[in-house]
């Protein structure tokens, strides 16, 4: 917890105000929207900080203090269900001593001798959503959420869509039986759901529990049905008959009726055995495939459970043994900048090693420069708008296998000489400019091919189909040659045979033939069309169309490069000309200027051009047969690629469209042309065979 001794009244009041707003916001996000932004541990920390401050500054307690607010109300969207037996919560244990104390309490209450036999069931505590299923004469009649424990929400229609909740119980189920358990989503299903949501531009869920809660509390059960929810039974509520003498017996009966009970449930006969079970489950935590936040122990004998009863809405006969908190306090020793494969700069916190949730953490992501400055995604202040400085005492969070994050700063511990962090504007790997474009959270190194961090990606791009298109050079080969130091930049491809030919021919998995084929494929690309060459350089914002457009505008590589170097030197006239080209905007002009302002980049281009001849781009033909016409390609072209045909048509002044309409002038139909050809015929558009097209284009 943060040290608050040195706070003035003003500072404390400001913090309390921030905490009240922050906690209210997280309450709404959690309860109303099922979309929390922080972990439970972080939330608890905010609440604890607030309580500590209120205790120390009682005269500053606010009217809207989070401590005075009431708990989550049941949503009006669902009908209410009064639980006939309350859905209880569990007391918590955090350490082995707490477990021993729990055992002592139970023995004391039951007047058992310390060595009298006393068994407990132990099972993982699923981090999901509690659900009560009411079966009458073996048929599911009602499903309700926990709500506040007394009143829950009726989610029967939704629960019916969960695959492992049976509609009817098999075997000799009692007349009335309420099964209680947890609805959850597996890690794999959660990842797939979020991937689908992301692909569809939808909202992603923060964690599996919220995905499960958000899915179960849908007004449209059709949506719930599309979500892969599952259910583990762990107890019971209102029942006409209890089928057994122990917790374990009853759960096995519930399992026999067709519900799923946790296969990891075990019987333990001592506090030591419980603690060993806890350690065993914690070790399996990452591989269970679903989230758990601890294990639950229950006195096995039901006659004991009845005698023990409940105290303040928690049973005396059960306890939740939680896993260690996933938030810890440590010191931010340094901020390091990492460069990704595509050039984005990511700041990483170098932390004094600290154990968080049972794992030693010494690195944490800081996302981007705004995050360091205390600014969140929408310009909203995070951490109360407090920036991170090297030397700061910070709180670190780790949740499951998620990358650890720095979530809070303790200002009272900030060293006097701590300086605001200045985010570098050059790449730490290659020294090129690191540019932050408008609307982007991260800076990017413009070094591309010459940046070691981006080299493999740059090489892969250069050899790809739409660029140099070198057969036999895939990601695997690029990575292997890079590892060996044979190909560190694109120019090295063209000296591969001269420098490493013999080695490659005798290399395992290669042999004479494939090596010779590769060298031939490389040789075939010693001459490249302007657009392919420029596109192959992998400059940001220079896609195939832009590369072709720049080619048509400048004609020769020599003219283009000279213009770009002048642009980089600040030549306004060149910039005007560039911006005058249809489709060129300020962002592209800025990018080109920063790329060509790097001497290393220009030197690398010189090395590359020693091996590659860049063909002049074809200027747009005026008055040709395709000039100003709209052309559509369809079917499989056999003599050229679709990309090449498109470039050719554009060089002849045509506009290439993707679909046929009345405005289409020509449809070039390759093999197996389908609906577009049909439509063209129906609209009376001139249809050309691939041969017709080639002949007319070359004439």
Rounded to an integer, what distance in angstroms lies between the CA atom of residue 611 and that of residue 615?
13
Judged by beta carbon, residue 368 or residue 429, the one nearer Zn ion is 429
Residue 502 half-sphere exposure toward CB, CA atoms < 13 A: 1
- Residue 7 · residue 15 · CB < 8 Å: yes
| DSSP β-bridge partners for residue 328 | 396
Q: Does 451 bind Zn ion (CB under 5 A)?
A: yes
Q: How far is the CB of 539 from Zn ion (least distance, A)?
A: 13
Judged by beta carbon, residue 275 or residue 490, the one nearer Zn ion is 490
Helix locations, 86-186, DSSP H: 96-110, 156-159
Residue 687 half-sphere exposure toward CB, CA atoms < 13 A: 18
Percent helix, percent strand, percent coil in the chain, to nearest 5: 40, 20, 40
Q: Does 449 bind Zn ion (CB under 5 A)?
A: no
Q: How far is the CB of 489 from Zn ion (least distance, A)?
A: 13
Q: How far is the CB of 541 from Zn ion (least distance, A)?
A: 17
- Residue 212 · residue 183 · CB < 8 Å: yes
Q: Does 345 bind Zn ion (CB under 5 A)?
A: no
- Residue 616 · residue 552 · CB < 8 Å: no
Judged by beta carbon, residue 247 or residue 429, the one nearer Zn ion is 429
Q: Does 337 bind Zn ion (CB under 5 A)?
A: no
Rounded to an integer, what distance in angstroms lies between the CA atom of residue 289 and that of residue 274?
22
**Per-residue tokens: 281:** 């489950």
Q: How far is the CB of 343 from Zn ion (least distance, A)?
A: 6
Q: How far is the CB of 458 from Zn ion (least distance, A)?
A: 10
Rounded to an integer, what distance in angstroms lies between the CA atom of residue 598 and that of residue 343?
15
Judged by beta carbon, residue 444 or residue 532, the one nearer Zn ion is 444
Q: How far is the CB of 345 from Zn ion (least distance, A)?
A: 9
- The greatest distance separating any two alpha carbons of the chain, rounded to the nearest whole angstrom, comes to 105
Judged by beta carbon, residue 427 or residue 697, the one nearer Zn ion is 427
Judged by beta carbon, residue 282 or residue 457, the one nearer Zn ion is 457
Stretch that binds Zn ion, among 5-13, 450-458, 480-488, 508-516 (CB under 5 A): 450-458
Stretch that binds Zn ion, among 6-14, 67-75, 267-275, 451-459 (CB under 5 A): 451-459
Residues 262-301, mask of contacts with Zn ion (x by CB under 5 A)? ----------------------------------------
Tell me, by CB under 5 A, how many residues bind Zn ion.
7
The contacts of residue 376 (CB under 8 Å, 6+ apart) are 370, 382
Q: How far is the CB of 344 from Zn ion (least distance, A)?
A: 10
Judged by beta carbon, residue 351 or residue 593, the one nearer Zn ion is 593
Judged by beta carbon, residue 455 or residue 531, the one nearer Zn ion is 455
Q: Is 125 one of the catalytic residues? A: yes
Judged by beta carbon, residue 99 or residue 542, the one nearer Zn ion is 542
**Do strands 434-435 and 405-409 pair parallel, antiparallel, or not at all (unpaired)?**
unpaired
Rounded to an integer, what distance in angstroms lies between the CA atom of residue 368 and that of residue 456?
23
Residues 406-445, mask of contacts with Zn ion (x by CB under 5 A)? ---------------------x-xx-x------------x
Catalytic residue from among 125, 629, 648, 676: 125
Q: How far is the CB of 432 from Zn ion (least distance, A)?
A: 5
Phi then psi for 660, rounded to 5 degrees? Answer: -90, 135
CA distances from 48 to 52, 53, 188 (A): 6, 9, 34
Q: Does 447 bind Zn ion (CB under 5 A)?
A: yes
Judged by beta carbon, residue 65 or residue 338, the one nearer Zn ion is 338
CB count within 10 Å of CB 486 equals: 16
**Do strands 444-445 and 434-435 pair parallel, antiparallel, or not at all (unpaired)?**
antiparallel
Please work out, in degrees rounded to the nearest 5, the angle formed at the alpha carbon of residue 645 by the alpha carbons of 642 and 650. 125
Rounded to an integer, what distance in angstroms lies between the CA atom of residue 214 and that of residue 77?
13
Q: How far is the CB of 428 from Zn ion (least distance, A)?
A: 8
CB crowding 283-316: b at 16 or more within 10 Å, else e: eebeeeebbbbbbbbbbbbbebbeebeeeeeebb
> Smallest Cα–Cα separation from 317: which of 339, 302, 336, 295?
302
> Alpha-carbon dihedral of residues 544, 546, 549, 551, nearest 10 degrees?
-70
CB crowding 42-77: b at 16 or more within 10 Å, else e: bbebbeebbeebbeebeebeeeebbeeeeeeebeee
The contacts of residue 121 (CB under 8 Å, 6+ apart) are 246, 247, 248, 251, 265, 266, 267, 268, 297, 298, 300
Q: How far is the CB of 68 from Zn ion (least distance, A)?
A: 53
**Contacting positions for Zn ion (CB under 5 A):** 427, 429-430, 432, 445, 447, 451
Catalytically active residues are 125
């Amino acid at each position: 917890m943060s040290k608050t001794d040195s706070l003035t009244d003003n500072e404390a009041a400001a913090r309390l105000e921030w905490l009240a707003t922050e906690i209210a916001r997280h309450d709404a996000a959690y309860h109303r929207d099922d979309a929390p932004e922080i972990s439970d541990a972080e939330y608890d920390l905010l609440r604890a900080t607030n309580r500590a401050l209120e205790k120390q500054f009682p005269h500053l307690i606010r009217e809207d203090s989070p401590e005075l607010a009431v708990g989550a109300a049941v949503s009006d969207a669902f009908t209410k269900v009064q639980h006939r037996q309350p859905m209880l919560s569990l007391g918590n244990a955090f350490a082995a001593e707490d477990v021993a104390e729990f055992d002592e309490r139970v023995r004391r209450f039951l007047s058992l001798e310390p060595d009298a036999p006393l068994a407990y069931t132990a099972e993982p505590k699923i981090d999901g959503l509690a659900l009560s299923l009411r079966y009458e004469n073996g048929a599911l009649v009602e499903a309700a959420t926990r709500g506040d424990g007394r009143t829950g929400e009726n989610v029967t229609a939704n629960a019916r869509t969960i695959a492992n909740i049976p509609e009817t119980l098999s075997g000799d189920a009692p007349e009335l039986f309420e099964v209680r358990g947890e609805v959850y989503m597996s890690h794999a299903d959660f990842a797939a759901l979020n991937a689908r949501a992301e692909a569809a531009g939808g909202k992603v869920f923060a964690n599996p529990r919220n995905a499960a809660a958000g899915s179960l509390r849908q007004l449209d059960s059709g949506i719930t049905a599309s979500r892969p929810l599952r259910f583990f039974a762990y107890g019971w509520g209102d029942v006409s008959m209890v089928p057994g003498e122990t917790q374990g017996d009853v759960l096995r009966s519930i399992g026999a009726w067709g519900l799923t009970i946790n296969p990891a449930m075990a019987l333990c006969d001592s506090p030591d055995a419980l603690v060993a079970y806890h350690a065993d489950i914690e070790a399996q935590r990452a591989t269970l495939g679903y989230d758990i936040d601890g294990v639950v122990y229950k006195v096995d004998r039901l006659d004991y459970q009845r005698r023990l009863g409940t105290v303040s809405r928690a049973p005396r006969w059960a306890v939740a043994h939680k896993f260690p908190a996933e938030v810890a306090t440590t010191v931010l020793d340094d901020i390091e900048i990492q460069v990704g494969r595509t050039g984005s700069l990511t700041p990483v916190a170098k932390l004094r090693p600290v154990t968080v949730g049972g794992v030693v953490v010494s690195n944490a992501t800081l996302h981007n420069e705004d995050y360091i400055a205390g600014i969140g995604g929408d310009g909203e202040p995070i951490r109360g708008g407090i920036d991170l400085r090297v030397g700061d005492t910070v709180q670190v969070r780790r949740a499951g296998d998620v990358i650890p994050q720095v979530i809070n700063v303790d200002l009272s511990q900030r060293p006097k000489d701590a300086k605001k962090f200045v985010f570098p504007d050059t790449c730490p790997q290659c020294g090129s400019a690191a540019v932050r474009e408008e609307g982007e959270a991260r800076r990017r190194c413009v070094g591309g091919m010459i940046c070691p961090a981006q080299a493999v990606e740059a090489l892969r791009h250069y050899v790809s189909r739409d660029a140099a298109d070198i057969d036999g050079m895939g990601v695997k080969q690029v990575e292997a040659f890079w590892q060996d130091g044979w190909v560190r930049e694109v120019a090295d491809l063209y000296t591969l045979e001269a420098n490493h030919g013999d080695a490659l021919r005798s290399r395992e998995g290669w042999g004479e033939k494939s090596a010779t084929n590769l060298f031939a494929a490389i040789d075939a690309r010693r001459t490249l069309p302007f657009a392919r060459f420029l596109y192959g350089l992998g400059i940001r914002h220079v896609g195939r169309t832009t590369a072709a457009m720049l080619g048509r505008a400048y004609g020769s590589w020599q003219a283009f490069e000279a213009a770009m170097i002048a642009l980089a030197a600040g030549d306004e006239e060149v910039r005007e000309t560039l911006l005058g080209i249809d489709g060129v905007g300020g962002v592209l002009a800025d990018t080109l200027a920063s790329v060509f302002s790097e001497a290393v980049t220009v030197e690398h281009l010189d090395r590359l051009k020693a091996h590659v001849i860049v063909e002049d781009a074809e200027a747009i033909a005026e008055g040709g047969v395709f000039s100003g016409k709209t052309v559509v390609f369809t079917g499989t072209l056999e003599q050229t690629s679709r990309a090449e045909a498109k470039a050719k048509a554009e060089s002849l002044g045509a506009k290439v469209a993707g679909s046929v309409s009345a405005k289409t002038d020509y449809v070039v139909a390759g093999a197996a042309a389908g609906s577009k050809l049909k439509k063209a015929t129906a609209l009376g558009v001139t249809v050309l065979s691939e041969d017709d097209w080639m002949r007319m284009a070359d004439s």
